[in-house]
Amino acid sequence: MRNIKKLHKAEYRPIGDLKTWSPMPTRELQMLDPFLFLNHHGPQTYDANNQGLPFGPHPHRGMETVTFIIEGDITHKDTGGHTSVIEAGGVQWMTAGSGLLHAEVSSEEFKKNGGDLEILQLWVNLPQRLKMMQPQYKGLQKEQISVWENEERSIKAQVVSGNFKGIRGAFDTPTSVDLAVVHFNANTTLELEIPRDETIFFYVISGELNVNDILVPALHLAEFSNNSEILNIQASVDSKLLIGHAKPLKENVVFGGPFVMNSEDEIRQAYDDFHSGKMGSWD
């Protein structure tokens, strides 16, 4: 079975009144190529007449953002002309490519009425050959996302991209990244085969999972070796997992705030293009 090298507990990094946990990047773990960043917002309950999510207009270039709405909603708008309101159980996939501005805020209804909120955002790197591709965006509601279930219907996977046990993901993406959110009932077991040359992204959202005889609690990211294809996952309590896998890009990675490129010169160019309006302007 595939060995776990290390468990990484998410660091608590609140953004104003928004509870936020982040297992990556940290001083211990910079990235799991090609997975760059994860923020886990909530769970928490907002009162009526709240300010909602604080993510107003900001730019991106060179990477993709995948946003999982567990509870609550997100209103998305970007300078590529895309708009949507995605509700609980839905997913947003934005390929920033050459660059655009976007905002991710709560709907007017959520700000008026309040409610439960829990959202995860994952950043996935783009290879150098796609860094400057045309930006893309797609948002899907819960009922539009592919689902795999075991025979007993005690384990359910929302198949976001790639393939999960023969079920094709709901999003067609420019890179080969497999992503799913898996919901486990208590006392269930799931076995997965993942190519040993691929990086695994394994984050326990809630509950706890025993993976190849190692217990992974909630708010922990498991870092795996590449010694085997087999994952044996056991849930003793109701649990929720974000799992992904992809071949590493093995390219130079330079972070520049909201930009992820291959060199410092490209980061400087991204800021120049942003400030000169080449990524669009916000009305």
**Dihedral sign computed on CA atoms, order 70, 75, 81, 82:** positive
Closest to 93 in 3D by CA, of 137, 49, 46:
137
Q: Does 283 fall in a domain? A: no
What span, in angstroms and rounded, lies between the C-alpha atoms of 219 and 214? 15
State which residues form the domain around 40: 4-275
What span, in angstroms and rounded, lies between the C-alpha atoms of 9 and 21? 9
What span, in angstroms and rounded, lies between the C-alpha atoms of 216 and 7? 7
Task: Tally the domains of the chain.
Answer: 1
Closest to 70 in 3D by CA, of 27, 35, 138, 121:
121
Q: What is the pLDDT of residue 283?
A: 76
Q: Does 280 fall in a domain? A: no
Q: Does 210 fall in a domain? A: yes
pLDDT digit string, tens, across residues 244-262? 999 999 999 999 999 999 9
**pLDDT by residue, tens only, the chain of 283 residues:** 899 999 999 999 999 999 999 999 999 999 999 999 999 999 999 999 999 999 999 999 999 999 999 999 999 999 999 999 999 999 999 999 999 999 999 999 999 999 999 999 999 999 999 999 999 999 999 999 999 999 999 999 999 999 999 999 999 999 999 999 999 999 999 999 999 999 999 999 999 999 999 999 999 999 999 999 999 999 999 999 999 999 999 999 999 999 999 999 999 999 999 999 999 998 7
pLDDT digit string, tens, across residues 225-239? 999 999 999 999 999
CATH at residue 67: 2.60.120.10
Q: What is the pLDDT of residue 266?
A: 98
User: Could you tell me what percent of the chain has a pLDDT over 70?
Assistant: 100
Q: Does 282 fall in a domain? A: no
